Structure 1
Amino acid sequence: MLNKKNIISICFSAIFLVLQSCAVKKFIPEGERLYTGAKVEIEADSVIANKQSLAAVLEQALRPKPNKKFLGMRPGLHFYYKMQQEKPGFINRFFYKKIGEEPVYQSDVEPYEVEDILRNRMENRGFFYSEVSSEFKEQEKEAAAIYTVKAPTPYTIASYQLDSLPQPINSQIEQSVSETKLTKGMRFDLSNMKLERERIDRDLKQNGYFNFNPGFLIFEADTNQYDRKRFDLFLRLKKNVPQKAIVPYKISKINVYANYDVQDSTVTDITEFNGRYYVNSAAHFKPKYLDPFITLEAGKLYSPEDSRNTARRLSTIGAYKFVNIQYKEKDSLLTDSLGVLEANIFLSPLNKRALRAQLQAVTKSNNFAGPGLALTYSNRNIFKGGETLNTTASVGYEVQVGSGSNSGNTSVDLGLKQELIFPRVIFPIKINTDFFKYSIPKTKASLSVDYLSRTKLYALLSGTAQFGYLWQANKFVSHEIIPISVNYTKPSNTTPEFEAILDENPFLKRSFDQQFISGLNYSFTYNEMIDASKTNQIFVNTTLDVAGNSVSLFGKDNDTGTKEFLGLEYAQYAKIDLDFRYHFKFGKDQLIAARLFGGYGYAYGNSEIVPYVKQYYSGGPYSVRAFRIRSLGPGTYNNEANPNSNYFDQTGNIRLEANIEYRFPLFSFFKGAIFADAGNIWNSIANPTYGGKDKFTSNFINELGMGAGVGLRVDVQGFVLRFDFAAPFHDPSLMEGKRFNFNVKETVFNFGIGYPF
């Protein structure tokens, strides 16, 4: 079993092996030099637009690629040489299998072949008759290549026009060419012409040209009219293009196979609904519920966008494992101006019932550790409308390990939750689904009961009921609104120790008093991180939580000066969170990740303080990692001065955090990280128990807890096990003047699943 000591040992062993990999020069054979790469120098007769882009294209063409480097070293090459020894050893064999690579020497470079490739790249970008030369820059055991490219004045576009084409495609391409990005004065560039053909092809496809492809278009350049490296550019169709490629197609009929089985294609019934034909649907999925997800329409021209939208919307239902849309051409109905398609939508359903088990081994930063088990039973398409009923039962047991007075404390957590998801809007007033172009909102209703028992403290029984909607507006934006959210929490079996803590902290006691929470939640998410190709990625999530306003209309005064609803004292507050993340990707699998978080809770009306379950805490594996969970703050409070204090009373209604992390590959599925965190929590109204140290002021910058550390991650196809080691270098609980101290002896080990941000 991995523990803190074992993991540290592994990390240092890996670092030692990497450092050893710098000594590869002694293994290079006599008469050889290690090839360290090449660079391209461009000498131009005129100013080159986008010169950096041109240089990048030329550098990509350089061959061969040198051996990989990491922090100035070549570990892959090191383990290759170690494998050549008579007894390489287990460790060398293991690392060679994972990252080893054969050496690339100067003798492996063919400079004349590379020169030909560079000349070709230059000609493709309008620099005809370029001259390329090469030389080696040699050292004792290493050699680098330098390629010098002499670029003449490039050829530029004088005009761009379309040759006459047959109708109806001539009008369509003419319209597309009118929106071209190929303009007068642009440099000759084959890649731009390829992009232009693909753009025109997309326009044609969107307007029904089902059988067209960009390879049917050809560009011709005419330089005969000019003396100064200019040319006329003509676009035309290639010869012998099939007739069916130059006419648009319309959809004549739509067949929806709602319960498709490739091994049994027997047709038992066909139902027509809204101009579409539903095959074998009546007993499986009601057509009136399935129909709104389909954007294809009979009588309209073929559109790949409508096809993609339909496939995506059907996939979001949650009842189908495969969505396959095929088009069948009706050749007998083809004319010189129009073709006909029949659309067939094949939907392969998931198993109606499924059972999923999750077994967890939990390790928390407050030294609680133990197993957890969750069983989820899913019943899909329960009302023949794509609905999913999930029933989850969970049990967890944790024990607090380590030294100290709290060692041996246990925690038992039991939960039961039922969740019913409708792939449509359930609302008293009918809502037109045409408004939702990207996806149809889902309606979610849930009911859950949880029981938590902590030895020497208390037991907590809570019930939650929610009803709301989830909606994805486009690829990046999603909304979740829960207009009905009711939570009731009842503490029981409180121990004298816990009662003593509450008596000493009136704010904490008051936060446990209001056990009934009824309100509204709204969450907005903008997520660019789903697009792995983007260099700069942004994630923004903001959440609004408002409680108590609706029930306050029916509240009645009680003896304590507050109001009750149905005999329960209710909470009234507003809370808003903002989570901003930024990822910058560079190199190969290297990433700078940054995060800013701000949260504020405001109690009003029937509440003096935000309920305990809605308050913030700081520290832990997903927060400021140099401090244990719930151990940071509030403000400059030091819990060591209070012997009765425990982690659960270090909460506040204001939270600010900032994190930055550099992530880089090590070898195979092992990745490393260097990070720094800062943050804290405060109270907007001082808690007398903390002596005013918890109040938020303009001096908050000097009250941030700060730490830095290193991490090791095991990333297997997106499943991440994370081991982080962090030490504080600014502890706000210490006296001023002693807060800045990088205390390695206080290193905190954090274990987590997934990346922190």
Structure 2
Amino acid sequence: MNIKNFFKYYLCFALAIVMSACSIKKHIPEGEFLYRGGDVTVIDTNDVENKADLENELQSLLYPAPNTRILWMYLGLYYHYKAQKEDPNFIVRFMNKKIGEEPAYFSDVKIDVTKNLIENRLQNNGFFYSETASSIKKDSTKATAETNYTVRIGKPYRLNKYKIERDTTDRNYPIYTELENALSETFIKDSFRYNLRGFKAERERIDQYLKEKGYYNFNASFILFQADTNLNNNRTYNLYLKLKNGVPQKSKVPYEVEQIQVFPNASQDTSAVSADSVLVNNITFIQNELFFKPHRLQPFVIIEPGKRYDPTKSKYTSRRLSSIGTYKFVNIDYQEIEPKEEDSLWKRKLKADIYLSPLTKRSLRAELQGVTKSNNFTGPNVGLTYTNRNIFKGGESFSATGSFGYEKQLGRKTNGSSSLQLGAKVSLTFPRLIFPGNLEPYFKYSVPKTKISTGFDYFNRTKLYNLNSYSASFGYMWNANRYVTHQLTPFQINFVKLGNTSDEFEQILDDNPFLRRSFEQQFLAGLTYSFTYNEVNKTNNKGEINFQMNFDIAGNSINLFGKEQPDGIKTFLGLKYAQYVKGDVDFSYHYELGKNGHGLIGRIFGGIGVPYGNSRALPFVKQYFAGGSYSVRAFQIRSLGPGSHQPDDNENGYFDQAGDIRLEANLEYRFPIISVLKGAVFLDAGNVWLKNENTALPGGKFSDNFINEIGIGPGVGLRVDVQGFVIRFDFAAPIKRPSLDWKFEYKNPVFNFAIGYPF
């Protein structure tokens, strides 16, 4: 069966399912009605703020929840009914397991119970003495029923006075002073509408406030609110905060941290006599043999002896220790110190033990990739990385990576060219800021890291050229909070040397001055900055934002020392250098559809690089590319563009298609299939363009017509997701090529294999 016939049969099958799902009346028992839910309408005699929110809140009380409809069809209910028949087939059983729903019948609706729930919820929101009416709407022809509720509310109760009510036997406890201070920061102000949810939030706020003031043994359940609504007839209330009876004495006094012990290697038996104790800034570090230098570990601990207990400092300490990269687990254990006889009961103390469980110190990781490009170059890439997570016993991470890649050009119209890539890179990351002066006190959330790296790459394209690339960088990275990450590299250099060029390659460069200029930029020195905002770890949020901004500028500093040559080009130490500025933004939004693993993800990307001064073209390594597993998946890797330019059929495709401008948009729907297997349907669009005209690449310049030069392609995907490790298979085909009209090329799908999600 060819693909065209497959689509026909698939369409017929889908239509049959749709037609069957449209009519479920025959499955509804006689005398029963399918419940379709209802509406709650609030009628207020006074203007009520957020009336729509109140109606939605009341709407959520309706029970049972009606069956889900998709385009007026009860697909889940349809498969549930079909599965009840004798010997249902595999497809029916599978679909019922994934989307099947129990029917919601009108006989399950308890109108009086629902009315009581609505009135109770209104009272919790300050609307006392409300009236609720209901109506029923039945449709015998469709065997469906609805229930609608009308709620008439009046003026809500609003706050007159908010104060603390002290127990006469507890008046001298310091907790009451802290409670008074806490009330000065309350959000419950005059005229605050009676709101039970608001009172619960206030109780949690006060509990957190007291914890941060040292009240280690306090609990939110100790706080009681009493509202007096019997003041007069103007619907106001007084709110009284009090502590419930029987609160333990130790819960009403603050605690001070007296001792701190840190165990840098919790896997060791530190009870042995040989265990070594070192005191640094009144913090004791205990380890058998030196695993982590105490003076290097101490700055990560912001809990201080002699200070009051503070859970925020504990949380920050745990996060800072985890961010080193040496430890798998961090456990902070507080223990109460029994008061001595001479100590007052008003003075309580704690001992903090910090247990650090290390990761495996050394690791070796191998990576294998298969690459297929639109220019018919195919071959393997192999990478090997060695990591030492604590090389100098101060949390320093050393990494060494070696890579090998070989690609062979296959096909009838090629000359059998091949390419060889060899690479080596070493990096050393310090879990501290290497900078003149002491700036670390300004970084409470996490300690900045300093990274130094250097690398070498060798690339050989047979019969054409070889390219030697050297790089070195020095930079910083830090987390401003749980969502924001900064990465600043003030020193970054790249030296690219082109050699062993053949006559054929020289002719190619002569025919394409743009390409020649991009290869001629041999020395790059500049600064890069990256800002990332990521809500992936945000809890109780159906939508997650991921935003990244990158900025790259090169050549300005060394331009001050550049020496101008007769041809007008400046050199530094005898080398031509590049000047450019480049910036891009990458924004994606992940929206959760229900709680069954269904999600809708949208992404947009925009970037531009501008050469200036000593450069007329961006260096080739800094240009943008489009197409491939992490871009527009309906096109082979780095095959799109620039613009509407279409390479001649007789070209061997020695080079990836590149540009100065890149625009992309992606939309993807993800859904679970079974166990670790997940699926996706997506649509990708994008391209790259040149900023300036290049006669060797006609149609490549960005223009007002760019919208018609975007490559577009839909596709489907299959993913194996094992605890966050994702193996991805995507199939896509173009429906719009930049240089052609709309046409669905489903007979020539592009297969993408990758590790991890594309965005």
The equivalences for 1:287-306 within 5 A come to 287-306=294-313
Structure 1 counterpart of 2:712, one-letter code: G
- Give the TM-score normalised by the residue count of structure 2: 0.87
Query: Deviation at 1:660?
Result: 5.0
Following the alignment from structure 2 to structure 1, what is the Cα–Cα distance between the partners of residues 453 and 9? 45
Q: Could you list the per-position Cα deviations for residues 108-136 of structure 1 after superposition, in whole angstroms to 9, with x for gaps in the alignment?
A: 33333333322322222222343444444
Following the alignment from structure 1 to structure 2, what is the Cα–Cα distance between the partners of residues 647 and 38? 65
Following the alignment from structure 1 to structure 2, what is the Cα–Cα distance between the partners of residues 91 and 188? 53
Partner of 1:240: 246
Secondary structure, aligned partner of 1:322: strand
Partner of 1:130: 130
Q: 1:240 to 1:262 in 2, by over 3 A?
A: farther
Following the alignment from structure 1 to structure 2, what is the Cα–Cα distance between the partners of residues 444 and 10? 57
Partner of 2:361: 352
Partner of 1:148: 150
Partner of 1:206: 212
Partner of 1:383: 392
Secondary structure, aligned partner of 1:525: strand
Q: Could you list the per-position Cα deviations for residues 596-618 of structure 1 after superposition, in whole angstroms to 9, with x for gaps in the alignment?
A: 4121231422x332221112233
Secondary structure, aligned partner of 1:639: coil
1:709 aligns to 2:711 (yes or no): no
Is 1:631–1:650's contact at 8 Å kept on the other side of the alignment?
yes
Query: Deviation at 1:340?
Result: 1.0
% identity of equivalent residues: 41
Following the alignment from structure 1 to structure 2, what is the Cα–Cα distance between the partners of residues 184 and 676? 53
Is 1:382–1:388's contact at 8 Å kept on the other side of the alignment?
yes
Partner of 1:419: 427
Partner of 2:89: 89
Query: Deviation at 1:576?
Result: 1.8
Query: Deviation at 1:300?
Result: 1.1
Query: Deviation at 1:45?
Result: 4.0
Partner of 2:577: 571
Query: Deviation at 1:483?
Result: 3.0
Structure 1: 5+ residue runs without aligned partners? none
Is 2:260–2:283's contact at 8 Å kept on the other side of the alignment?
yes
Structure 2 counterpart of 1:29, one-letter code: P
Following the alignment from structure 1 to structure 2, what is the Cα–Cα distance between the partners of residues 435 and 84? 65
Superposed CA RMSD: 3.5
| Residue 163 of structure 2, aligned match among 152, 161, 164 | 161
Partner of 2:473: 466
Is 1:361–1:369's contact at 8 Å kept on the other side of the alignment?
yes
Query: Deviation at 1:264?
Result: 6.4
| Residue 615 of structure 1, aligned match among 623, 646, 661 | 623
Secondary structure, aligned partner of 1:648: coil
Following the alignment from structure 2 to structure 1, what is the Cα–Cα distance between the partners of residues 416 and 66? 56
Following the alignment from structure 2 to structure 1, what is the Cα–Cα distance between the partners of residues 55 and 291? 59
Structure 1 counterpart of 2:587, one-letter code: R
1:183 aligns to 2:185 (yes or no): no
For structure 1, which segment, 461-470 or 712-721, has the greater mean C-alpha deviation from structure 2 after superposition? 712-721
Query: Deviation at 1:400?
Result: 5.7
Query: Deviation at 1:35?
Result: 2.8
Q: Could you list the per-position Cα deviations for residues 171-226 of structure 1 after superposition, in whole angstroms to 9, with x for gaps in the alignment?
A: 11111112222223232211110011111111111111111111111111112321
Q: 1:217 to 1:755 in 2, by over 3 A?
A: same
Secondary structure, aligned partner of 1:445: strand
Is 2:413–2:652's contact at 8 Å kept on the other side of the alignment?
no
> When the two structures are aligned, how many residues end up with a matched partner?
740
Is 1:257–1:281's contact at 8 Å kept on the other side of the alignment?
no
Is 1:206–1:305's contact at 8 Å kept on the other side of the alignment?
yes
Structure 1 counterpart of 2:226, one-letter code: E
Q: 1:630 to 1:260 in 2, by over 3 A?
A: closer
Following the alignment from structure 1 to structure 2, what is the Cα–Cα distance between the partners of residues 99 and 17? 18
1:256 aligns to 2:256 (yes or no): no
For structure 1, which segment, 173-182 or 373-382, has the greater mean C-alpha deviation from structure 2 after superposition? 373-382
For structure 1, which segment, 78-87 or 261-270, has the greater mean C-alpha deviation from structure 2 after superposition? 261-270
Is 2:689–2:701's contact at 8 Å kept on the other side of the alignment?
no
Structure 2 counterpart of 1:224, one-letter code: N
Is 2:277–2:284's contact at 8 Å kept on the other side of the alignment?
yes
Structure 2: 5+ residue runs without aligned partners? none
Partner of 1:337: 346
Q: 1:363 to 1:78 in 2, by over 3 A?
A: farther
The equivalences for 1:577-588 within 5 A come to 577-583=583-589, 585=591, 587-588=593-594
Is 1:620–1:750's contact at 8 Å kept on the other side of the alignment?
no
Q: 1:348 to 1:307 in 2, by over 3 A?
A: same
For structure 1, which segment, 314-323 or 333-342, has the greater mean C-alpha deviation from structure 2 after superposition? 333-342
Structure 2 counterpart of 1:91, one-letter code: I
Following the alignment from structure 1 to structure 2, what is the Cα–Cα distance between the partners of residues 95 and 399? 45
Is 2:458–2:469's contact at 8 Å kept on the other side of the alignment?
yes
Query: Deviation at 1:497?
Result: 5.1
The equivalences for 1:550-699 within 5 A come to 550-551=557-558, 562=569, 569-583=575-589, 585=591, 587-588=593-594, 589-591=598-600, 593-605=602-614, 607-625=615-633, 627-640=635-648, 643-644=650-651, 646=653, 648=655, 650-653=657-660, 655-661=661-667, 663=669, 665=671, 667=673, 670-675=678-683, 677-684=685-692, 686-690=693-697, 693-697=699-703, 699=704
Structure 2 counterpart of 1:223, one-letter code: T
Q: 1:162 to 1:271 in 2, by over 3 A?
A: same
Q: 1:584 to 1:324 in 2, by over 3 A?
A: closer
Following the alignment from structure 2 to structure 1, what is the Cα–Cα distance between the partners of residues 638 and 441? 47
- Give the TM-score normalised by the residue count of structure 1: 0.87
Query: Deviation at 1:550?
Result: 4.6
Structure 2 counterpart of 1:212, one-letter code: F
